[in-house]
Structure 1
């Protein structure tokens, strides 16, 4: 991915995080409270936001340091993490398909690998 593509992806994910957060706080609040999934949904939105900001940072860093190829891997891991971690929790909250909870840790692992790639990009 190019730095500009990473930044554009972060912008899209940022907009989606705001939409999902607002949707959960307003349109879905009653459903999420009645099913006991409000905390789960909030976790999905929080991690979605955290890693969107991280993705934006990676895009900026990759623009400044295009020779640091591990930054590209970091971006990919953050994207996959958002899709799997937050995505599986969103679907779990809305569908009550509980087996999706088993997929969520793979997204968490992807987040960890993204942070490790960032570390390795600037490590000696």
Structure 2
């Protein structure tokens, strides 16, 4: 299931990246374009990590790290995409929670690797 979700996140990242580059051409300010590009970069990077975690077949901390990354990617990228599309700027206060979840996912991967 985790690999499937990672693949869906990757597909979504590519689709949203293309939409931002082509469908929203001329509609972004430099700031909102930066939010969109950052959201896409982080979504794609973490999609690959989640996909790999799912394919690994590992359980425990490693699997938990993948699921924490899913949550983090959705929160981090989702809030940035939302703000780029006009959501209130206070969404930016939520974005770091997603970033912390992404960091926690990487930390769980590291702990799992140390234990193996």
TM bucket, shorter chain: over 0.9
Q: Does residue 21 in structure 1 map to residue 17 in structure 2?
A: yes
2:93 equivalent in structure 1: 102
Q: Tell me the secondary structure at the aligned position of residue 31 of structure 1.
A: coil
1:117 equivalent in structure 2: 108
Q: TM-score, normalised by structure 2?
A: 0.93
Q: Quick one: distance in 1 between partners of 2:37 and 2:25?
A: 11
Q: Quick one: distance in 2 between partners of 1:72 and 1:87?
A: 22
1:62-81 map, 5 Å: 63=57, 65=58, 68-81=59-72
Count of residues in Structure 1 that have an aligned counterpart in Structure 2? 115
Query: How much has 1:56 moved relative to structure 2?
Result: 1.1
Q: Deviations over 1:2-49 (max 9, x none)?
A: xxx00000111111001100000011121113x631111100000000
The structure 2 residue matched to 1:40, chosen from 15, 35, 42, is 35
Q: CA RMSD in A?
A: 1.2
Q: Quick one: distance in 2 between partners of 1:118 and 1:36?
A: 33
Question: Gaps (5+ residues) in structure 2?
Answer: none
Q: Quick one: distance in 2 between partners of 1:29 and 1:116?
A: 37
Is this contact kept in 2: 1:55–1:78, CA < 8 A?
yes
Q: Quick one: distance in 1 between partners of 2:75 and 2:24?
A: 21
2:48 equivalent in structure 1: 53
Moved over 4 A (4+): none
Query: How much has 1:96 moved relative to structure 2?
Result: 4.0
